[in-house]
Structure 1
Amino acid sequence: MSLRDPTRRPTHPGAVLREDVFPELGMTQTEFAKRLLVSRLTVSELLHEKRGLSTELAARIARLTNTTPQSWLRMQEALDLWRVHQNRQQLAQIKPLAVAG
């Protein structure tokens, strides 16, 4: 049994950056983007939860913040799986292929 409430939307990695990491670092989105070697738009979209976190971006953030890519990717994966679960009725309409055995 999971300790997590399955109806609760998992936290987006961008929200963690916005609410926890940025206040600690005291840096602007522009500075953060420059240090990550990505565009300011990429950082802005992530912080405003308009973009998912790619493996590449997770690795860059982890390197800059002295964390692990896995920790960032777990957050994104939890959110992605929650979204799929929210759409489970559509998923249930897919007929599995019969596997020859």
Structure 2
Amino acid sequence: MVKFNRMFKRSLTKLSDDSLIAFHPGYYVRRYLDTQGMKQSELAKRLNVSEKVVSNLVHGKINLTDELAEGLALVFGTSTALWINLNRIYFEKKRKIEIQFKIKKRLANKQDIVQNTQ
């Protein structure tokens, strides 16, 4: 039987298979915080949200809202469009990865059936 953990790797901020990788916008927020030496609590204050919201975003547990995208743009000196596009690209790639995973799983199941009938 094929091991799917090799074909489909998932963390909360990164989803990948052999040919695609999708980064949750929280991945970029975390990288920025690390680079700037900023704590999540400081970002939460600047965004006027709870630390829990920032933590959940950084760990990919919540989706990026338009309001958060606007706040991140103000705090980081970027555009709102950047964050909206990062979010859109994440969901597009995530969907493609999940489709590829389902196809690979079906093919592996068929191979198992063929091997078991021989």
User: Counterpart of 1:14 in structure 2: which amino acid?
Assistant: G
- Between Structure 1 and Structure 2, which shows a larger proportion of helix residues? 2
Q: Matches of residues 14-93 of structure 1 in structure 2 within 5 Å?
A: 14-19=26-31, 21-88=32-99
Instruction: Give, in whole Å, the separation in 2 of the partners of 1:81 and 1:24.
Output: 27
Counterparts of 1:87 and 1:27 in 2: how far apart (Å)?
Answer: 34
Q: Name the structure 2 match of 1:13.
A: 25
Aligned partners of 2:98 and 2:73: how far apart in 1? Answer: 31
Flag the 1:65–1:8 CA change in 2: closer, same or farther, 3 A.
Answer: same
Give the secondary structure class of the aligned counterpart of 1:10. strand
Shift in alpha-carbon separation, 1:70–1:17, aligned structure 2, 3 A:
same
- Percent identical pairs in the alignment equals 33
Structure with the greater alpha carbon radius of gyration: 2
- 1:44 positional shift: 0.2
| Superposition RMSD in Å | 2.0
* Contact residue 22 and residue 94 of structure 2 kept, 8 A: no
Deviations 1:28-57 (A, max 9, x none): 111110111011111000101111111110
Q: Structure 2 regions of 5+ residues with no counterpart?
A: 1-18, 103-118
Answer with 60-69 or 73-82: which moved more: 73-82
| TM-score normalised to structure 2 length | 0.63
Q: What secondary structure is seen at the aligned counterpart in 2 of 1:53?
A: coil
- Looking at structure 1, the residues matched to 23 and 45 of structure 2 have their Cα atoms a distance apart, in angstroms, of 25
The number of residue pairs the alignment matches comes to 84
